[in-house]
Chains A and B, each alone.
Chain A
Amino acid sequence: MFLALKEMKRSKVRFLLLMVAVALLVFLILFQQGISSALIRDFTGAIENQTAPVLVYSVDGQRVLQASVMTPELEAEVASVPGIAASGRLGVGTFTVTADGERVDATIIGYEQPELGAPSRLVAGRLPSARYEVVATEEDRSKGFDIGDTVTVEPGGRALTVVGLARQSQLNVVPTLFTAYNTYVDAVAARNPDARTPLPNVLALTPEAGLTPEVLAERINAVDLNLDALTRQQAADKTPGVSQVKQSFAVIFLLYGLVVPLVTGLFFLIVTFQKANSLTLLRAIGAPSSRLVRSLLVQVAIVLVGGLGIGILCDVAISQGQVGSLTLEFNPGAVVFWAVLLFVLGIISSLVAARRVLAIDPIAATTGAGVGR
C-alpha cells in the first residue's frame, strides 16, 4: 500500500485521468444499457407488463400484435385445446388521437377480461370500469394522458377518459391506452364507420392450475401450423426487431467491455515500463516481486473502483430523466453486472503489467537497465 499510494499521490493527474477515462467508459456503457432497456421496454412493455400468461397469434401476423388476425376458425381450434382455464380476445390498433390539443399516434389495446390483457403495473388510478374509460401509460402523463384527461380518437371524435396510469406499458414507443374490448371496437368504428367489426388480433389465455404457460403454448402450436402461441416473455422477446436491437447493443457492449480492460491494461503496462528503474532498484534492495505486484494491483483496484464509482454516479444522475421520448431508469442489476465484469476484466488485463514486474531481474540495477530492456 505504501508504494502504491505514494506513487498515486505524486502522480495525481496521471491516475486521475485514467480514472476519468474509465468513468467515462463505464458511464457510456450504463447509459447505453439504459437506452437499450428503455427502447425495448417502450417497444414491448405492453406485452411484457400485461396480465395474460399466454398469447396466441396467427402465424401470418409474424408476432406483431396489430398484424395478427384471429379468425373464428383459429379461435375455435384454440378453444379445443385442453388445459385452458380462461380465454379472452385482444384487439390492438394504432390510432391518431388528440391529447392536450396535440395530434399524436397512440396504440389502443382492448381486452375482454382484466386477467387477460389488462396492464399489470398500474401505478395510479384504476382499471376501466365503464365504457370509454382507458388506462394510459405513465410516461405520457404530461402529454395529455394524465388521470382525468380526455383523449379523442381522430377522425370520429370518440372521447376516451383516462382513469388510470400504467408503468412501462407502451407498445411501439408511443402512448398506449388499455381499455375494454368493446371500447376498442367503438374506437375502430369511430375512425372508420364503414369498417366491419374487427376480428381480434390475439387471444389471451390462462392455463389451468398445474399447467405451465410453456406447455400450454406447445399444445396450441401442435394443433395448427397457423397458430403461434407464445408465453408472455417469449411474445415480448420475439417481437420483430427486438432481437436485432439487442444484438446491435450487444456488439456495442462487447466493444466497450473490451475497451475498458484494454485501456486499463495498457496504461499500467506503460507505467510499469516508465518506472522500470524504480522497480529494479526496489527488487535489488530486497523487495519481493509479490510485494511489487500487490502494489500494482492495489493501484489498478483503486483506479477501477474510482472510475466505476464516478461512472455509476453519473448514470444515477442521468437515469432520472428522459432521452427524447425514452424514459431512462436506474437498473441496479445492470450496474452490479457491469461493475463486477469490468473490475474483473480490468484486474485480468493488468496481469500483463504484473508479468513484466515479475520478470524484473535485480541485477539490472547494477547496469542501469530496467524491465523490458
Chain B
Amino acid sequence: MSTTNVAVDLALRMEAVRKVYRVGDSEIVALDHADLTVAPGEIVALVGPSGSGKTTLCSIAGGILSATSGRVVVGGTDISDFSSKELTAFRQSTVGFVFQSVNLVPFLTARENLLVVDELGRRTGSAARKRADAILGELGIADRANNLPSQLSGGQRQRVAIGRALMNEPRLVLFDEPTSALDTKLGEQVMTVIRNEMKNRGIAAIVVTHDERNTRYCDRTVHIVDGRLEGTSSH
C-alpha cells in the first residue's frame, strides 16, 4: 500500500473531488469538485436532500468508492490512486463505518460483531477481546455482549455498530443516517453516544443526516446540493 504523508494534522482532506457515473451515453455527476477538510476530533454534519451526493461523498472518504478525479487524503494517507485491494485494507485499518440499514452480522453476537474487525485484520487476540469488552462497557451494553442482533433493540444495535466502528481505532468514522431507523428519543441518545465517543477519543466523524436536529451534536454542518458542497455553518 503506497502512502503519501500530507496534511497529517487533518483527519480528512478532499480536494476538487469529482465523481461521475456513466449511464449509457450520458454522464451523471454525483459529486462535483468537492473540497472538504475535517480535523481530528471534529464532527461534521453533512446535510442535503436525497440524491444530493451525501452518501457518495462519504463512500469516497471511506474508500468504498474511488473518485473520478480529485484528491482524497485520510489520516495523512493519500488514497486517491489506491487499487481495490488497497482500499479494502485501508477500510479495515483506518476508517469506521455505521451504515443506515445494514449494520450488524446477524449470526454474530454483539461482542463478536466487534471482534470480527480484529479477525479481518492482524488478529490481536486477547487484546482485541479486552478492547471489545471495554467499548461495550463504555457504550452501556456490556450486559448484552452475548446477545445476537435479533435480541437487541434498535438503539442497542446502533450502539453495537458504533462500537464496531471504533474497534480498529480509526482516524475517521462515517455515519450514514445513524438515527433514521430510531424514534426521536433513541435518536438523541445515539447522537449523544456518537458525540461523546468521538470527542473522548479525538476521532473525526462525518454524520450524514436528513434530520436538522442531529446537527446540534456536531461541530459544523456542511450542506450539499446536486453534488456540490454549498455552505458551512458552525455550532
A contact residues vs B (CB 8 Å cutoff): 2-3, 6-7, 10-11, 275, 277-278, 280-289, 291, 362-363, 365-368, 370
- Chain B residues within an 8 Å CB radius of A366: 55, 58-59, 64, 99-100, 176
Are the C-beta atoms of B107 and A287 separated by less than 8 Å?
Answer: no
Are the C-beta atoms of B59 and A363 separated by less than 8 Å?
Answer: yes
Give the Cβ gap from B138 to chain A, nearest Cβ, in Å. Answer: 20
Are the C-beta atoms of A286 and B176 separated by less than 8 Å?
Answer: no
What sequence of 0s and 1s flags, for each residue 96-131 of chain B, a beta carbon within 8 Å of any chain A beta carbon? 010111111111100010011101110000000000
Are the C-beta atoms of A10 and B148 separated by less than 8 Å?
Answer: yes
Does B69 touch A at the CB level, under 8 Å?
no
Contact of B112 among A6, A283, A287 (CB under 8 A): A6
- Chain B residues within an 8 Å CB radius of A291: 120
- Chain B residues within an 8 Å CB radius of A289: 88
- Chain B residues within an 8 Å CB radius of A367: 55
Known A-B contacts A11-B107, A287-B120, A366-B176; the reply to A281 vs B102 at CB < 8 A is yes
Are the C-beta atoms of B116 and A368 separated by less than 8 Å?
Answer: no
Does B235 touch A at the CB level, under 8 Å?
no
Are the C-beta atoms of B102 and A286 separated by less than 8 Å?
Answer: no
Does B7 touch A at the CB level, under 8 Å?
no
> In whole angstroms, how far apart are the Cα atoms of A368 and B176 in the complex?
11
Does B228 touch A at the CB level, under 8 Å?
no
Are the C-beta atoms of B97 and A285 separated by less than 8 Å?
Answer: yes
Are the C-beta atoms of B103 and A281 separated by less than 8 Å?
Answer: yes
> In whole angstroms, how far apart are the Cα atoms of A362 and B58 in the complex?
13
Are the C-beta atoms of B92 and A368 separated by less than 8 Å?
Answer: no
Q: 21 A–B contact pairs at CB < 8 A? A: A3-B116, A6-B108, A10-B148, A277-B102, A280-B102, A281-B99, A281-B102, A281-B103, A282-B120, A283-B88, A284-B91, A285-B117, A285-B164, A286-B88, A286-B91, A286-B121, A287-B120, A363-B65, A365-B99, A368-B99, A368-B100
Residue pairs across A and B with CB atoms within 8 Å: the count is: 83
- Chain B residues within an 8 Å CB radius of A288: 85, 88-89, 120
Does B93 touch A at the CB level, under 8 Å?
yes
Known A-B contacts A282-B105, A368-B102; the reply to A363 vs B120 at CB < 8 A is no
Q: Which residue of A lies closest to B92 (CB)?
A: A286
Most buried by B among A2, A7, A11, A286: A286
Give the Cβ gap from A362 to chain B, nearest Cβ, in Å. Answer: 5
Could you list 14 further interchain pairs (A-B, Cβ under 8 angstroms) beyond the known A286-B121, A289-B88, A291-B120?
A2-B115, A2-B116, A7-B107, A278-B105, A280-B102, A281-B104, A281-B105, A286-B88, A288-B89, A362-B64, A365-B64, A365-B102, A366-B55, A366-B176
Give the Cβ gap from B129 to chain A, nearest Cβ, in Å. Answer: 12
> In whole angstroms, how far apart are the Cα atoms of A142 and B99 in the complex?
74
Known A-B contacts A10-B148, A286-B93, A363-B65; the reply to A2 vs B119 at CB < 8 A is yes
- Chain B residues within an 8 Å CB radius of A286: 88-93, 117, 120-121, 168
> In whole angstroms, how far apart are the Cα atoms of A363 and B101 in the complex?
13
Are the C-beta atoms of B99 and A287 separated by less than 8 Å?
Answer: no
> In whole angstroms, how far apart are the Cα atoms of A10 and B107 in the complex?
6
Q: Which residue of B lies closest to A2 (CB)?
A: B119
Are the C-beta atoms of B102 and A363 separated by less than 8 Å?
Answer: no
- Chain A residues within an 8 Å CB radius of B65: 363
- Chain B residues within an 8 Å CB radius of A368: 99-102
- Chain A residues within an 8 Å CB radius of B92: 285-287
Give the Cβ gap from A121 to chain B, nearest Cβ, in Å. Answer: 55
> In whole angstroms, how far apart are the Cα atoms of A277 and B59 in the complex?
17
> In whole angstroms, how far apart are the Cα atoms of A275 and B104 in the complex?
11
Give the Cβ gap from B62 to chain A, nearest Cβ, in Å. Answer: 8
Q: Which residue of A lies closest to B103 (CB)?
A: A281
- Chain A residues within an 8 Å CB radius of B104: 281
> In whole angstroms, how far apart are the Cα atoms of A87 and B10 in the complex?
99
Give the Cβ gap from B174 to chain A, nearest Cβ, in Å. Answer: 9
Give the Cβ gap from B63 to chain A, nearest Cβ, in Å. Answer: 9
Which 3 A-B pairs rank lowest in CB-CB distance, beginning with the nearest?
A286-B92, A368-B101, A286-B91
- Chain A residues within an 8 Å CB radius of B116: 2-3, 282
Which residues, 74 to 101 on B, are CB-close (under 8 Å) to A?
Answer: 85, 88-93, 97, 99-101
- Chain B residues within an 8 Å CB radius of A2: 115-116, 119
> In whole angstroms, how far apart are the Cα atoms of A10 and B113 in the complex?
14
Give the Cβ gap from B200 to chain A, nearest Cβ, in Å. Answer: 22
> In whole angstroms, how far apart are the Cα atoms of A3 and B168 in the complex?
18
